[in-house]
Structure 1
Amino acid sequence: MSDTYQTINLQDSWQKNLAVLIDHIRLRSFPRVLVEVLASYCHFDTSLIVTYKKSFKPIVIHPIDPSEQSSTLRSFLNNGYYLLDPLFDAIQNETVSGVTRLAEYAPDSFEETDFYQECYQYFGIVDEIVMIIKLDSEVTCAISLGRCKGLGTITRSELRALQEIYPVISALFRQFWLAQAGEYVQYEESDDSVKQALKSFGSGVLTQREREITHLILKGNSSKAIADKLNISVGTVKVHRKNIHAKLDTSTQSEIFTLFLGHLKALSVEPHLT
């Protein structure tokens, strides 16, 4: 088969896929159809489309059928694990965009974190490709395509294919969001508890610097990574870590993580003053 024929064939396939997406652009079925189209450019085992708004609880756009949502996904959302997700952190800090991989923004000790041990590893993913789409000034969409052990890591040709269609996919998704946002934001939960948990964990016990380091520890940063981020020495970080454990009466990262989740849950059930 000649290169010219392959090029024409790929263009014809893209035109047909684009037509299908345009047909569904104002319908709730658009995310599902989009995933089906993406499958023709990149192999993946799992797919998830989520919108993020500041520190609000993420909203799942696909799959919306509860029967298609794994217990791990429900735990990720309902137990507050998303707060320690590297992607959530990267979006909050606006340090990720376009087509990327988890390996590009995950902290250096990611697999040692409680988020990984207690939640992420149960997704069974060995490589995660994410398309980041800015929907408006406050909302960001993440289309996550997960590959399990059988598929291995994404190939260069697949990544390049996603990068090539990304501008069009982004434009189409923004149009879908303009038409359908109201159908999803009605399920939006207040981010008061989340904001309060992040700000108040360790308050009155830890210093501001110790609280800052505690958040970085929970997100999977090693002492060296924390030192680099805060422009301090590794030795200073180790002293802070020792003081944090002493003040919280903990000895491991897991114990700190358990305290944090308990703090979040406690705030979630407390009545809020209006």
Structure 2
Amino acid sequence: MGLTLQDVAWHQSVGKLIDALDRPGFWIALVRLLEQYVEFDSWVALLFSDGRPQVFAECPGLDGGPDTLFQDYLAGLYQLDPFYIASREQRVGGQFRLADVAPECFEQTDYYQRYFRLNVVADEVQINVLLDGERTLCLSLGARQPFSPEQIALLGIIQPWVAALMRQRLAFESEFLASPPPPAPAWQNQLEAAGQKVENALTARELEIARLMLSGCSGKEIARKLDISAETVKVHRKHIYSKLGIKSHSELFALFLQAQKG
């Protein structure tokens, strides 16, 4: 079977991107190429590590300036991002869709309602490239409507080219990569201090369960991740709420947001 015109156009475009690897506009050029094959509404190229995400390039906000919601994400909300959590728990390269990594109750969380659906809106696909030092290079594509099976399949076909280009680009991001990532916000300490009294400090297990709750994990998912019973999870949740003087997931999320600014 001979090459189609679309095949030729793709290979020509990839050739141009290889030529642009050392240029400032590489990420935009890569995104514009992807836009010819798959529709999406937002994008960001960033690096996940044990610190805060480092951004290589991102799409502008609606007014052409920085996206304020995305700044909140970088300040600490990323710790509830299913893609970030997945990149830390299971270091696997390749292409992932929101449905592949989102916890069971993700759409019921305050993080989803107050950030994700406003910023990403409906669906997200991320291409991950594993690096040394427990780092992951990511290209995320967000859409206002779910990606179709055909779009996901097409992205899967071109993903190896995209990932290879992303990896090769790193040779020209050496100055950026030399800067250590800003440390992650110690929101756990803020939650521990919320009780005011020493006896109200959350235990390490309670802090972990609080994070999993905020990220959208159901009681059964938390039990499975931590190898404890669902009833034990309920007891821990009751203790968390009691120690922090709160009664709901929304109040816990409010404390989390406050901790990002503390």
Q: What is the TM-score with the length of structure 1 in the denominator?
A: 0.83
1:246 deviates by: 0.8
Q: 1:27 aligns with which of 23, 28, 38?
A: 23
Partner of 2:173: 180
Letter of the aligned partner of 1:197 in structure 2? Answer: W
Aligned pairs, how many? 254
- Do the aligned partners of 1:27 and 1:180 also contact (CA within 8 Å) in 2? no
Change (3 A) 1:163 1:198: farther
Q: 2:56 aligns with which of 58, 61, 77?
A: 61
Q: 2:211 aligns with which of 207, 215, 220?
A: 215
Change (3 A) 1:170 1:115: same
Partner of 1:170: 163
Letter of the aligned partner of 1:177 in structure 2? Answer: L
Within a 5 Å distance, the mapping from 1:64-213 to structure 2 comes to 67-78=64-75, 80-148=76-144, 152-183=145-176, 186=179, 189-191=181-183, 193-194=184-185, 196-198=186-188, 201-202=191-192, 205-213=201-209
1:251 deviates by: 0.5
Change (3 A) 1:110 1:13: same
1:212 deviates by: 2.0
Q: State the secondary structure of the residue aligned to 1:116.
A: helix
Which runs of 5 or more residues in structure 2 are unaligned? none
Q: CA offsets, 1:196-220, max 9 Å, x none?
A: 4347743751223222211211111
- Do the aligned partners of 2:191 and 2:244 also contact (CA within 8 Å) in 1? no
Within a 5 Å distance, the mapping from 1:225-236 to structure 2 comes to 225-236=221-232
What is the aligned-residue RMSD (CA, Å)?
Answer: 2.3
Change (3 A) 1:36 1:68: farther
Q: For residues 183 and 240 of structure 1, what CA distance do their matches in structure 2 show?
A: 42
1:59 deviates by: 1.9
Q: For residues 210 and 118 of structure 1, what CA distance do their matches in structure 2 show?
A: 24
- Do the aligned partners of 1:101 and 1:129 also contact (CA within 8 Å) in 2? yes
- Do the aligned partners of 2:43 and 2:59 also contact (CA within 8 Å) in 1? no
Q: CA offsets, 1:212-266, max 9 Å, x none?
A: 2112111111112112222222222112111111111110112122223333432
Change (3 A) 1:260 1:154: closer
Letter of the aligned partner of 1:222 in structure 2? Answer: S
- Do the aligned partners of 1:50 and 1:141 also contact (CA within 8 Å) in 2? yes
Q: State the secondary structure of the residue aligned to 2:103.
A: coil
Percent identical pairs in the alignment equals 33
Within a 5 Å distance, the mapping from 1:236-247 to structure 2 comes to 236-247=232-243
Q: State the secondary structure of the residue aligned to 2:173.
A: helix
Q: What is the TM-score with the length of structure 2 in the denominator?
A: 0.87
Change (3 A) 1:167 1:17: same
Which runs of 5 or more residues in structure 1 are unaligned? 267-274
